[in-house]
Amino acid sequence: MASTKKLFKALTRRGPHRVLRGDLAFAGLPGVVFTPDSGFSLPGVAFGHDWLATADRYSGTLEHLASWGIVAAAPATETGLAPSALNFAYDLGTTLDIITGVRLGAGEISVHPNKLGVVGHGFGGSAAVFTAAGMPVKPKAVVAIFPTVTSPPAEEPAATLEVPGLVLSGPGDPMTLRSNAVELARTWNKATLRTVNGAKPGGLIEGRRLARAVGLPGADRSTQKVVRALITGYLLHTLTGDKTYRDFADPDIALPKAPNVDPFAEDPVDLENKVVALLKP
């Protein structure tokens, strides 16, 4: 079997499948869906966007997943200044219902109802936790990419989850007011916390040419490349059982550019500690 390092390098590139793009609006929900050009009983994920982003800002990531055989759909809802995490969680669940309930493409693509995952970035990462906790039939896996604080807090539903989870944190995230990556990993028994070396948490969003002018983070290709490889390998194993990628879901293995982290290794990171650290000169 290929080494984990070689697999990681391969996963940073497009996969072997030609990709088709569709519109979730055909089923009454704004959004996009990317699929391999054919295949039955495929794995599928619903992908949640970050605050003030849209589904289209993740086209490259969604296309990447589809090129590796994973149907990836993203609702384009809750894009305003004050989005609801609970409403967005419901839309992510609806997205999974759509991709499993109809034949996609020209009728030559289907998603298996027992190969589902929920993925999200930032605000969408916390919403994904709410989605998984509220599903009557739990997904195979959940991925929270640089998750951020929501109201109500996602730590509460995370404590009830018995499904595998991957939580990605950026450097310095534990002491960032918006991040709840460590807090989620502490309450979610089956979650693996990894820090992505050199990552810019906002850099997963694509195409923000004017972002820096208004104080928002711009796209970062290095972050996108590493995160795409990590989540693709993780999902290929957890959703399909492909043992080739089992290291990507092993909490005891340090992956390239993403070492595993013990969320309990240091003193508790509470709001007061974060504020004090940020106020220090």
Q: What is the pLDDT of residues 255-264, one digit of tens each?
A: 999 999 999 8
Least confident of 64-68, 134-138, 174-178, 212-216: 212-216
Q: Provide the pLDDT for residue 145.
A: 98
Given a contact cutoff of 8 angstroms between Cβ atoms, the answer to whether 23 and 270 are in contact is no
Strands 19-23 vs 31-36: parallel, antiparallel or unpaired: antiparallel
Least confident of 150-154, 172-176, 277-281: 277-281
Q: Provide the pLDDT for residue 175.
A: 65
Q: Provide the pLDDT for residue 278.
A: 41
pLDDT band at 210 (very low <50, low <70, confident <90, very high): very low
Instruction: Compute the distance between CA of residue 132 and CA of residue 192 in angstroms, rounded to an integer.
Output: 16
Mean pLDDT (the chain) is: 91
Look at 211 and 170; give whichever has higher pLDDT. 170
Q: Provide the pLDDT for residue 214.
A: 47
* Res 49 pLDDT > 70: yes
Q: Provide the pLDDT for residue 178.
A: 87
Look at 44 and 215; give whichever has higher pLDDT. 44
Q: Provide the pLDDT for residue 32.
A: 97
Q: Provide the pLDDT for residue 124.
A: 98
Q: How many separate domains does the chain show? A: 1
Tell me what percent of the residues of the chain surpass a pLDDT of 90.
82
Given a contact cutoff of 8 angstroms between Cβ atoms, the answer to whether 149 and 176 are in contact is no
Token pair of 11, please? 């996963």
Least confident of 62-66, 77-81, 102-106, 116-120: 102-106
Q: In the chain, where do the E strands start and end?
A: 19-23, 31-36, 39-48, 71-75, 109-121, 141-145, 165-169, 191-195, 260-261
Range of the domain at 274: 4-279
Q: Provide the pLDDT for residue 215.
A: 52
Q: Provide the pLDDT for residue 280.
A: 43
Nearest CA to 125 among 92, 100, 156?
92
Look at 105 and 274; give whichever has higher pLDDT. 105
Coil vs helix vs strand at 228: helix
Q: Provide the pLDDT for residue 75.
A: 98
Look at 7 and 208; give whichever has higher pLDDT. 7
Check: pTM over 0.85? Answer yes or no. Answer: yes
Mean pLDDT value across residues 160-175: 91
Q: What is the pLDDT of residues 10-25, one digit of tens each?
A: 999 999 999 999 999 9
Q: What is the CATH number of the domain that holds 118?
A: 3.40.50.1820
Q: Provide the pLDDT for residue 218.
A: 76
* Res 79 pLDDT > 80: yes
